[in-house]
Structures are given as structure tokens and as C-alpha cells.
Structure 1
Amino acid sequence: MTKIKKINTQSSSLFVGRWQPFHKGHQTLIETVLKKGKPVVIAIRDTEISHKNPYSTYERWTMIQKALKKYGELVKIVVIPDIDEICYGREVGYDIRKIELDQKTETISGTLTRLKNPPTQKIIWITGQSGAGKTTLASALQKELGGVILDGDEMRETISKDLGFSKKDRDTHNLRVARLAQVLSRKSLVIVSVIAPFEQTRSKIDQLIKPIWVHIKRKLPKDANKPYQDPKQPHIRVESDKQTTAEQISIIVNYLKTVNHTSQKS
């Protein structure tokens, strides 16, 4: 018969949160219990990555582990499904209590922390009709700035293999790419070479990751099977019929310098 080893028989305090990100206010709150020698369980809500929830579960786990490392086995971190309420019935042997902190700590905001320390590096999204030159431009831009490329065809063969080309599927595909770009941008410049044909879809992408939009134009015959709406106000517009790839790169790099988005090639 297998014996169950009890790691710690002492009762624990449970803290549940998004921890987006885990900041000094959170640390102070949890340390009010840890400093008394009582174990804590920190539950990370497994939220879907979005503009409001930009950090992955792994990143939040790492933040908490690093901040509370000195407490060793007193800290246990678990991941739970996302929740919007905590329910309980009759008294079952535990209390729900609010820990009062000083006013300065109480006012620490996760939203302000995210604004002051944005989690992402840079995401450049090259949009344009099929055949406009997105792949060529993305490759040249990577040689100039470094980073990783998310290519539309490759994304279709991997993360969106289950999707077709209806407007709904195109929308889903683009948002999947946006979420992947958001995760990758923690460590690197990301160059996205995906059509993103609809203004409404690009608006959703903006809400999620706010990329630098590069619209690459080329005179091409209209194809009803390949719909495309020109962006109204991209950050940068280049034209394959009038500019060489080198000239397009120069335009993009000069723009990035003006907004402090240049990256050292690694």
C-alpha cells in the first residue's frame, strides 16, 4: 500500500488573484501572514492573455516564486481555472478575512504597474494584400533589427490548422497570432507578416497588443476570394511598386527611432 507523505500538517492561508503583475502590494499583503511563520497557498487564476491580463501563467508563477523565495516551503503556488466569485455554505472550519494594510500599500495598482512597466517589447505587424511583399519585407526587417517572424502561411499550418477562410475564421486566426506575438514579445522583437484583411479585426488586435502597423501596398488585381480593406491610419505606409525593399526598411527604421522602438540586433 502506498503511503501518503504529508508535507505540512499546519493549516495555511489562501490568497487568490490574477497577479497581473505580482507587485509590492501583493508581496506585503502575503508577508503579513508569512512573517508569523504560517504557510500560504497562492492561487493564480488562469486568465486568458489580453490587454488587461498580459502576463502568462508561467511568468506570474516566476514573479511570485522570486519575490517570496526566502520563505521556502512556507509558500505553495497553485494554478486554478479563472473564477469570478468565491462561494461557500455553512461554517466549514475556516475564516474569510480582509487584511488591512497601510494607505500607501493599499493604493498600489496593478494597472498603474503595467503602465509604468509595460511587459512587452515591440510588435511590428506588416499588413497588406496577398502578394504585396509582406514576407520579403519581414525577412529584410529581421536582418536589420533581429527578432522573430510570425509568417502567415506558417501560422496557418500550425496554430490555425483547424480554421478555414470565412470572415469568422480569419478573425479567429488573426487573434491567435496576436496572442502568440504578445507572449513572444516578452523576450524579443516580433515581426508579424499576416494579412489581417479587415479593419474590424485590426481594431481587435489593437485592443490586445497595440502593434506598430506597417501597411505595404502594391497594385494587384482584385480577387473576391481574397478580401482586403486598406488601413485608414497605419503608423507606416510603404509601396512595393515605388520603393525598393531597402528603401522600405529605411522608412520603417527611421519611424521606429522617432518613437524609441528600435531594437539592437541580437
Structure 2
Amino acid sequence: MAYEWDNKKPTAQMLGRWQPFHDGHYTLFKEIIKKTGQVCIQIRDVQGVDDNPFDFETVKKNIEERLNPEFEGRFKIMLVPNVTNICYGRGVGYKIEEIVLPEEIQKISATKIRAKMREEGKLK
């Protein structure tokens, strides 16, 4: 039976640029989905800001291709403003927590991936 998204269920959030979505992001997603069973992936609107060449549709497609069919229905993807600060005033019913991944995963760098893509002529 396919998973059916429910906005009322507890949901974990992943906020990022995903320029591009790589193995480290995938590993992080797999840890985060264990928290609640469904994840809202928010893509910051950063195309053209600094070294962020990919537009929302490209990033969304890359994420969907990587997560489906294994996690189909268990995530939603949305475009959000270029969020740079996450602030709150008091305990409001959610946690902000860091997921610590193995060092070899932490070392994966989208900056290095983009540089290699440029070297190979896959990105301007």
C-alpha cells in the first residue's frame, strides 16, 4: 500500500539549497525521515545568488529522481525565500536539532561537485 501524505501528521523539515542534491543530502534525508515518517523539503530560492546555478525545477527534479520510488508520497518539496536565519521566541511545539552524520558523509561538498561538473563541461 502506498504511503499517503497527511498534513496533520508530525512532519520533519529539511531546508537547504541542494545545489545539487548529493549523497550527503540523501543520507541526511534517510536519517530525518526516521523522525516522523514524512519530510517537507524546502528549497531556498537562490538561483543566481553566489554560486547557485540550479533553478527550483531542476533541484526539485533531482530530489524526486533520487528519492522515488523508495520514498514516494513521504516527502513534499516547496520553494521558499532565501531563508538565512531561523529564529523562535520560546518553546512552540517543535525541535531544532542537528543530525550528525559520519565524517565521510559530512565531507561531501556541493561546491566541489559543482567544480567537477564545470571541469567536465556539464555546468557553466
Q: Partner amino acid for 2:84?
A: D
DSSP-derived class of the 1:19 partner? coil
- Gap runs ≥5 in structure 1: 1-5, 123-185, 187-208, 210-266
User: In 2, distance between residues paired with 1:61 and 1:120?
Assistant: 23
> Would you tell me which structure has more helix in proportion to its own residues?
1
Q: 1:64 to 1:104 in 2, by over 3 A?
A: same
Corresponding residue for 2:105?
A: 105
Identity rate of aligned residues, in percent? 35
In the TM superposition, 1:1-266 aligns within 5 A as 7-8=5-6, 9-35=8-34, 38-50=37-49, 52-69=51-68, 70-118=70-118, 121=121
- The alpha-carbon distance between structure 1 residues 19 and 35, as it changes in their structure 2 partners (threshold 3 A), is same
Aligned residues: 119
Provide TM-score, normalisation by structure 1.
0.41
The whole-number CA distance in structure 1 between the counterparts of 2:58 and 2:95 is 30
Which one has a bigger Cα radius of gyration?
1
C-alpha distance in 2, partners of 1:41/1:120? 32
Which one has more relative contact order, counting CA pairs under 8 Å at least 6 apart? 2
- 1:150 counterpart residue number: none
- 1:160-210, CA deviations, whole angstroms, 9 ceiling, x for partnerless residues? xxxxxxxxxxxxxxxxxxxxxxxxxx6xxxxxxxxxxxxxxxxxxxxxx6x
CA-based RMSD of the aligned residues comes to: 2.4
Contact 1:25 1:105 survives alignment (8 Å): yes
Normalising by the residue count of structure 2, what TM-score does the alignment of the two structures yield?
0.85
- Measured against aligned partners, the alpha-carbon deviations of 1:76-113 in whole angstroms (never above 9, x if no partner) come to 11110112211111111000000010000001011011
Please list every run of 5 or more consecutive structure 2 residues that lacks an aligned counterpart in the other structure: none
